[in-house]
Structure 1
Amino acid sequence: MVKRKSLVLFLCLMLVLSVVTACTNKESAGQEEGEVFTYKFFNASSTGKDVNTADTKIGKMFEEATGVNFDIEHIVGDSNQKIGTMIASGEYPELLNAQNATNDVIDAGGFVPLNDLIEEHAPNLRKLYDPIWEKMKQEDGNIYILPSGVSNGYIKPPNVGQSAFWIKREALKEQGYPHPKTIDEFFEIVETYAKAHPKTDGADTIPYTLLQYDWHVGQLFDPPAFLSGEQEGIMVDDETLEVSVHHNQDITKRWLKILNEVNAKGLFDREAFTQNFDEYLAKISSGRVVGWFGPRWESGTALDTLELDDDPYNDYMGFPIVFEEGIKDQYLNPESYVTSPGMGLTSGTSEEDQVRIIKFLDHMAKLDSQKLITWGIEGETYEVNEEGRYYRTQEQIDLVNKEEFRDEFGFKALGWYWPIMGGTFDDGNSVDPAVQPEVAQLAYDEVDKEFLEAYNIETFTDLFTEPDPAPWFPFWDAVIETGSEAQLYDQQSRDLIKRSYPDIILADPSKFDAEWDKFKGEFDKLPYKAYEDVIEASVKKEAELMGK
């Protein structure tokens, strides 16, 4: 009888303990028994379909683990106007990505400091952001923003997504798959093909075009640096970290001289300086253009169209072209440490809600969650081979490429813009499946394979040199004060270049030097030294924060 009572008491005690433990586990995730909390997240960085995260497979799993879900609202119309209304009213969603207006929200007190919240409640977030923890701090020492894509080691992408000099595949095939390395070799291929094919489908072939419209100016601005073996946009001395602009330097004169000669040969698109973005894209997608320079993402709409073209040789292949042999190309972006834009918790959120939200984000930062967000579920959206390498079957690739599936699974709703690592997992697998060689190679069609074999490469970036480390990259993360001399230079130089470069390029070769001298004289009057000082201070600060 005593034994029976003891057993009953023991069972009762175990039941009480199990209930307490269950409640404790729920509370540790910011959730009381059975409660679910729904918060609003406004994302000014993306357009898309508004959705509640719990209506997706991943989001439901996160809700079950944390008791939290989010109603996601995307930007429609002018994001700055929308954010401006929030600032004026002081009414914000609990979670906010303010994109270009991030600093305005910080200045208005719209974001709450996250340092203590993370240190106390979010060890996984703390680990995720450890490489850029100091860099994330504002001047007041507080962290307000959680960016996406925190680097965890460099991985070379299989395909060219950034800048390159592009040549039509038909031109390469016709000329025996030449491998141009210098700018002269590039234009030799372009000229040879254009002379052999003055017409494309009844319209004039366009040997070389470029885009200079609205904010699209990189196709004209950036080549001198790339051709010289520099990384994108600005000249930074690797040893001293001194910064200089290149628009008034000899490398820019050399680039413009080449274009002037190309124009004199009748190889330059004379509509380049008057065409708008849509007209430019139409030319690329028509297959009439033989060569061009620029980042793939800028012309992506046209190139995606070409991938569906009946003639796969109308597509393009990118090369890391330099001025002359011996220059090491630096076209691929180095490992980067971007701290803005990103998401932040807003001032109208109660302390209890702040804890729940930060714990939700901490759950997302767990390694298993990161793999779920990017790769999905093993056996459903990816496989693992005997060496521990992640891959996808063709059926899985087809599945995850379906927009409806990505919506339902949560790849879109809980992907980019949330706290996500970039680069590689510690086991060597790529965080981004598209960058995993095993996935990329399976996606290549027969013509892709033809060119890979012809150039004796496995992926298209095998032609490109791995970038040198640049702890300051990207330089455009620097803050330039409105109304400052640096900001004045930034705008005035763009206006001057857009006005002057057409005159230089389209001039009779005998007048090239005069046109260049005229431009350089005007450029030298601009406050470019103030701009260099601001960027240099930022470069040195970023390098110091990264321990370099």
Structure 2
Amino acid sequence: MFKGKILTAGLALVLAAALGGCGNGSNSSDGASNSPAAKGNSASGSGDTSPVTYKYFSFGAPKKQILGSETTIGKELQTQTGVDWNIEYLVGDGDTKAGVMIASGDYPDIIDSSGQMAKLMDAGAFIPLDDLIEKYGPNIKRVYGPYFDKFRQKDGKLYFFPYGANIGYVSEPNFQTGFYIQRSILKEFNYPKITTLDEYFDLLKQYKDKHPQVNGQDTIGFATFAGEQGSFFTLQNPAMHLAGYPNDGSTMVDMKTHEAKLVAGSEYQKRWMQKLNEANAQGLVDPESFTMNRDQYLAKLTSGRVLGYFSYSWQVGDATNNLKKAGDDDKRYVALPIVFDKGIKDQYIDPPGFVNNYGVGITVKAKDPARIIKYFDNLLKEENQILVQWGIKDQSYAVDANGRFTYANDEQRQMHEDPEKSQKFGFDYFNYSWPRYGNNSVLEDGNAYGPGNQPEVASFGYTEGDKKLLAAYGVKTFSELFSNPDERPWSPAWSIALEQGSPEQMFITKADDLQRKYLPAMILDSPANFDKNWDDYMNQFNKLDKKTYEDFITKKVQDRVAGKW
């Protein structure tokens, strides 16, 4: 999902990756079958299959409300189980919605918690799942069993399923997260190799000076998405990446001592803010970066006016797909592993890890928890995990002579990449915020769990512009532009849960509030005032108990290194 603030700071991450123990489940993947009907362990497939509709609510990225059976995937799962879902997504502020739910006690049957898990857990919104899993969950145990001790709560019980437990590991060939740049810029300057922040902004300025307008509108040099609730981390996180650290949320963890130090208030954050302040004075920074909502941000990226931006790939998927669909490769973007100084090893690609502080749980108001857990268990059969990721053979994917999953034609690719087609088929609704394999999993037959990690799919989808760009930089895939991640057994630190009302939770809330107040103003003010503005910010920041927070995260990181989650 991400990306990453500590849970109670309101961030949901998109990516749950782990080097997991491979389970020898009794189910086998039958990629050659036209029907994904479940046929593995029978415990979850037996019993009541009469029609029923339950309520699913997600605090995640907004989508339109829908009945699961209105999608191809949802209809197939309903055929198997009799269960349908009224799927609803958050509209408005997540904290407010969670507060209303808790105060009224009016919960749906299941909740995809995203950044609201701590509040919901404290309110007793979820039921313990251990007995249900033991009775009805052979596939749940196969997939999540090696990770149970990583997401048990203090009372020793399981209350939710994190978004993914890896079975095996395969990396993403088309990784793209970081500092994006419009391809027209690279093309115009003969595909220069740029690695530092100064080089990046210098190139944006040169191009903007030559092309002050795009289709009659002013060119935007650099934008970021820091105006909407839960998006401010997009402005906070670049400092750690520029310094050569992966996304560990609010902290940077020393590889040797495993000490956690705050990004906020660090020299790295100061350097990043000062660069944005300088770039703003040059007319490069879009001031609406701090006020626009997600739709406005994506619309700007799709317009071709924006030359560069920082984002995680999951934040900009709609814009990325729409630009590719438009067919103008020069107006598309490529992410680059930008760092402060030459010689710093970039760490944009997340190391294998396990996200244990949010997921989907069954609420105390659920009408039939046993039937829901059976649905979850059925969903975790490998043929259904293929269904929610790949779809149905010969409709949304193909199998070649070697048994490798791929796309036979552009129509199949579009079913995954075109937002409207993806929603209609159900990929947008069923392939993430449910009990599932981890993103980097490997199927029993050796295929990648997700199309995005399948080399055959990566190469199939390349346009002529993609091929030209990759050839210019001497690589075969976009992930080769980035360094391989260093192993971090605690990863990700942003998944360390903070108890509501604890000193650590109160600190990070106050620290985030201060940053939201000071950082945008600091960027937009005159460079002559930068040092004063930074000092004012630090005077307020140093009044907070940052040592307690750093000590807490350090202890949790060191516990994880020792195998104690």
State which drifts further: 205-214 or 325-334: 205-214
1:471 aligns to 2:471 (yes or no): no
SS of the residue corresponding to residue 74 of structure 1 reads: strand
Provide the C-alpha distance between the structure 2 equivalents of 1:485 and 1:181, rounded to a whole number of angstroms.
Answer: 39
- Partner residue in 1 for 2:164: 149
Matches within 5 A, 1:190-209: 190-209=204-223
- Partner residue in 2 for 1:18: none
Cα pair 1:83 1:98 within 8 Å, conserved: no
- Partner residue in 2 for 1:186: 200
Unaligned runs of 5+ in 2: 1-39
1:377, CA displacement in angstroms?
A: 3.2
* Partner deviation per Cα, 1:60-99 (whole Å, 9 max, x = no partner): 655665x542333323646767766665666655544454
Provide the C-alpha distance between the structure 1 equivalents of 2:314 and 2:515, rounded to a whole number of angstroms.
Answer: 23
- Partner residue in 1 for 2:262: 245
SS of the residue corresponding to residue 421 of structure 1 reads: coil
- Partner residue in 2 for 1:268: 284
1:133 aligns to 2:148 (yes or no): yes
Cα 1:210–1:406 shift into 2, 3 Å: closer
Cα 1:30–1:94 shift into 2, 3 Å: farther
Matches within 5 A, 1:56-205: 58=73, 62=77, 67-75=81-89, 77=91, 93-162=108-177, 164-205=178-219
Provide the C-alpha distance between the structure 2 equivalents of 1:498 and 1:89, rounded to a whole number of angstroms.
Answer: 31
State which drifts further: 37-46 or 242-251: 37-46
Structure possessing the higher radius of gyration over alpha carbons = 1
Cα pair 1:131 1:546 within 8 Å, conserved: no
Candidates 315, 320, 328, aligned match of 1:298: 315
- Partner residue in 1 for 2:511: 493
Corresponding letter in the other structure for 1:118: I
Corresponding letter in the other structure for 1:471: P
- Partner residue in 1 for 2:335: 318
Provide the C-alpha distance between the structure 2 equivalents of 1:274 and 1:404, rounded to a whole number of angstroms.
Answer: 29
Query: Aligned-residue CA RMSD in angstroms?
Result: 3.5
- Partner residue in 2 for 1:20: none
Corresponding letter in the other structure for 2:512: R
- Partner residue in 1 for 2:64: 48
* Partner deviation per Cα, 1:28-78 (whole Å, 9 max, x = no partner): 44645x85262514222464343254x76655655665x542333323646
1:453 aligns to 2:467 (yes or no): no
Cα pair 2:41 2:139 within 8 Å, conserved: no
1:236, CA displacement in angstroms?
A: 0.8
1:402, CA displacement in angstroms?
A: 6.4
Cα 1:492–1:436 shift into 2, 3 Å: same
Q: Compute the TM-score of the two structures, normalised by the length of structure 2.
A: 0.79
Provide the C-alpha distance between the structure 2 equivalents of 1:103 and 1:515, rounded to a whole number of angstroms.
Answer: 34
1:378 aligns to 2:396 (yes or no): no
Provide the C-alpha distance between the structure 1 equivalents of 2:286 and 2:74, rounded to a whole number of angstroms.
Answer: 52
Unaligned runs of 5+ in 1: 1-24
- Partner residue in 2 for 1:462: 480
1:340, CA displacement in angstroms?
A: 4.3
1:419 aligns to 2:435 (yes or no): yes
Cα 1:464–1:112 shift into 2, 3 Å: same
1:225 aligns to 2:243 (yes or no): no
1:414, CA displacement in angstroms?
A: 4.0
Structure with more contact order per residue of length (Cα contacts < 8 Å, sep ≥ 6): 2
Candidates 376, 379, 389, aligned match of 1:361: 376
Provide the C-alpha distance between the structure 2 equivalents of 1:376 and 1:338, rounded to a whole number of angstroms.
Answer: 25
Corresponding letter in the other structure for 1:190: L
Cα pair 2:43 2:136 within 8 Å, conserved: no
Cα pair 1:332 1:465 within 8 Å, conserved: yes
- Partner residue in 2 for 1:530: 548
Corresponding letter in the other structure for 2:67: V
SS of the residue corresponding to residue 376 of structure 1 reads: coil
Identical aligned residues as a percent: 35
Cα 1:194–1:76 shift into 2, 3 Å: closer
Cα 1:69–1:424 shift into 2, 3 Å: same
Higher helix proportion (structure 1 or 2): 1
1:108, CA displacement in angstroms?
A: 4.5
1:307 aligns to 2:317 (yes or no): no
SS of the residue corresponding to residue 179 of structure 2 reads: strand
Cα 1:401–1:109 shift into 2, 3 Å: same
Provide the C-alpha distance between the structure 2 equivalents of 1:35 and 1:503, rounded to a whole number of angstroms.
Answer: 58
Cα pair 2:205 2:284 within 8 Å, conserved: no
- Partner residue in 2 for 1:235: 252
* Partner deviation per Cα, 1:337-380 (whole Å, 9 max, x = no partner): 22343333344568xx5444333322222223322332233344
* Partner deviation per Cα, 1:207-257 (whole Å, 9 max, x = no partner): 334444244333432222111110123201223321111232222233333
Cα 1:37–1:142 shift into 2, 3 Å: farther
Cα pair 1:148 1:420 within 8 Å, conserved: yes
Cα 1:43–1:485 shift into 2, 3 Å: same
* Partner deviation per Cα, 1:98-155 (whole Å, 9 max, x = no partner): 5455444444444332223223432221120023211121110000112222223443
SS of the residue corresponding to residue 151 of structure 2 reads: coil
Provide the C-alpha distance between the structure 2 equivalents of 1:145 and 1:418, rounded to a whole number of angstroms.
Answer: 10
SS of the residue corresponding to residue 235 of structure 2 reads: helix
